[in-house]
Chains A and B, each alone.
Chain A
Amino acid sequence: GAVVSQHPSWVICKSGTSVKIECRSLDFQATTMFWYRQFPKQSLMLMATSNEGSKATYEQGVEKDKFLINHASLTLSTLTVTSAHPEDSSFYICSAREPSRDRVGYTFGSGTRLTVV
């Protein structure tokens, strides 16, 4: 099946620094990538939808200047958490729609555990 590779799987950074998370579609072209954030014992909350070659669409309440999304190619989308603070510590997961015409589905990256100290 379709595979999305996400890395790093975990990262610890100092408060005030920036962190970049990458998601790559390995065997298909992902024209749209979704970025989710999941706090402990909570659900996946959509942060933004990125479309290749255009600006991302952010969900209400998500700061676009803080969470920079780039989707410059059909196989790579990146999320940069700028000036990270401890409250940004969370599990970040990307997702892309499966490419099959015959089925509707979404494939997920393995997630990135971000800890800001």
Chain B
Amino acid sequence: GENVEQHPSTLSVQEGDSAVIKCTYSDSASNYFPWYKQELGKRPQLIIDIRSNVGEKKDQRIAVTLNKTAKHFSLHITETQPEDSAVYFCAASTGGGNKLTFGTGTQLKVEL
């Protein structure tokens, strides 16, 4: 089955700096890659997603890049703010309503 690895497990940045989180996946059939932000005790919230027919997608301060050949995708957050502090998860799916496999998570801390 699919295996998604995520790095780093913790990331501390200064407010205004950029943060990058990286994930690799194993199943070449995976074609949908969402990123979620989860605050303590809450449901995961989708922040951005990308499909395998696209190499990059951007939404204001957040961007995701996908390298299908290398089977890795990354989340980029620019101009970080304290409210960006949370746990971020990447995930992968083969689409068609199939299950999501989550990465191990990254605790992002944005310090003033």
Please determine whether chains A and B interact with each other in the same assembly: yes
| Residues of A bordering B, CB below 8 Å | 31-32, 34, 42-46, 49, 91, 93, 95, 97, 104-106, 108-111, 113
Do B99 and A49 have beta carbons less than 8 Å apart? yes
Residues of A within 8 A of B103 (CB): 43
Do A108 and B44 have beta carbons less than 8 Å apart? yes
Which residue from chain B places its CB closest to the CB of A103 in the assembled complex?
A: B49
The tally of CB-CB contacts under 8 A between chains A and B is 45
Interface of A is mostly: strand
Do B41 and A91 have beta carbons less than 8 Å apart? yes
Do A34 and B100 have beta carbons less than 8 Å apart? yes
Do A105 and B41 have beta carbons less than 8 Å apart? no
A110 and B95 CA atoms in complex are apart in Å by 23
Which residue from chain B places its CB closest to the CB of A48 in the assembled complex?
A: B99
Q: How far is the CB of A62 from chain B (nearest CB, A)?
A: 13
Which residue from chain B places its CB closest to the CB of A57 in the assembled complex?
A: B99
Residues of A within 8 A of B93 (CB): 104, 106
Do B34 and A105 have beta carbons less than 8 Å apart? yes
Q: How far is the CB of A38 from chain B (nearest CB, A)?
A: 9
Given contacts A91-B41, A93-B43, contact A104 B102 (CB under 8 A): no
